[in-house]
Amino acid sequence: MREFIKKIINYAASINNRQTSLLKEIVLNNLNNNSIKHDSDIDNEKLFDLLIDLKGTSLVEGINIVNSLVEVLNLDGDVCEFGVAQGKTSKLIAYLIKNTEKKFFLFDSFRGLPKPSKEDELKDDIFNLKNIENYEGKMSHEENKVLRELKIINFKSEKLILNKGFFNDKNIPNFTIPSKVSFAYLDFDFYQPTFDALNMLEKIIVNNGIIIVDDYDFFSTGVKKAVDYWINKNKEIFKIREIKTCLSNFVIIHKVK
């Protein structure tokens, strides 16, 4: 009986190993050639591990983050993340820029989601809380959790600028804002902070820079409303592409002028 169980365990492990190898092959083949050849300091195995370790960000979106970041590495401008959660996506982004001159600007309340506005209607009740108002304060993560994730990849503290507080009219004047941005990842979930962040980025993102906005037409209706309104008034300057999978929905915005 023990031998039978042992065989089952070994077979299950072999299946898992084959699945992992297949997944790794798919991931690496979906990364742009530039992504895996750009810098000898980018280790493919490490990059794969960081992608698999993502939480709240799908593998497809993670691959697009990598490809977009590598596309802008030679552009002037720093990198921003709006809404960092537990810092898994932050770690991926930081790994790709840690050997560059780019600084990493993080924006998060570390107190969970803000109070929703009238533009935020509950579309996908991910925590089964019944209404959007009950999500205020949810998805809160400690600042130290993010810092620990960045420490894992030895990201230099002098390259990190952490802006703590809700992204609103009251706090924005007190934040440290980069003068130029080449890449931004935006995951604010609600209408007002998303719209405010896009308005800020509009002024400082460089030509050919890229913005990825998470949860477009998912969870709250606010993100899609904010993006659609903003892109409509900037459609001559920015081009948008939506990517929708069974696990995520996001948009990639390129500055073309």
pLDDT digits (tens, 9 = 90+) for 131-187: 999 888 888 889 999 999 999 999 999 999 999 999 998 999 999 999 999 999 999
Residue ranges of E strands in the chain: 78-82, 104-108, 160-164, 181-186, 205-214, 238-244, 249-255
Rounded distance between C-alpha atoms, residue 130 and residue 157, angstroms: 41
- Lookup: tokens for 17: 């190993």
Fold that domain 45-255 belongs to in CATH = Rossmann fold (3.40.50)
Note the pLDDT of residue 18.
53
Q: How far apart are CA 233 and CA 238, in angstroms?
A: 10
pLDDT for 6 equals 43
Judged on CB neighbours under 10 Å (0-12, 13-18, 19+), 235 is exposed
The Cβ of residue 148 has, within 10 Å, a number of other Cβ atoms equal to 13
Q: Quick one: pLDDT at residue 46?
A: 85
**pLDDT confidence of residue 60:** 87
Token couple for 42:
């980018």
Domain ranges of the chain: 45-255
Tell me what pLDDT residue 8 has. Answer: 33
Give the whole-angstrom CA distance, residue 100 versus residue 96: 8
Paired residues of 212 in beta bridges: 185, 252
Supply the DSSP symbol for 206.
Answer: E
On whether the CB atoms of residues 204 and 179 are closer than 8 A, the answer is yes
Q: Which residues pair with 211 in a beta bridge?
A: 184, 253
The residue ranges of the chain whose pLDDT is under 50 are 1-15, 36-38
pLDDT at site 2: 43
Contact yes or no for 66/92 (Cβ under 8 A): yes
Q: How far apart are CA 68 and CA 46, in angstroms?
A: 18
The predicted pLDDT at position 7 comes to 42
* Nearest partner of 187 among 80, 95, 115, judged by Cα: 80
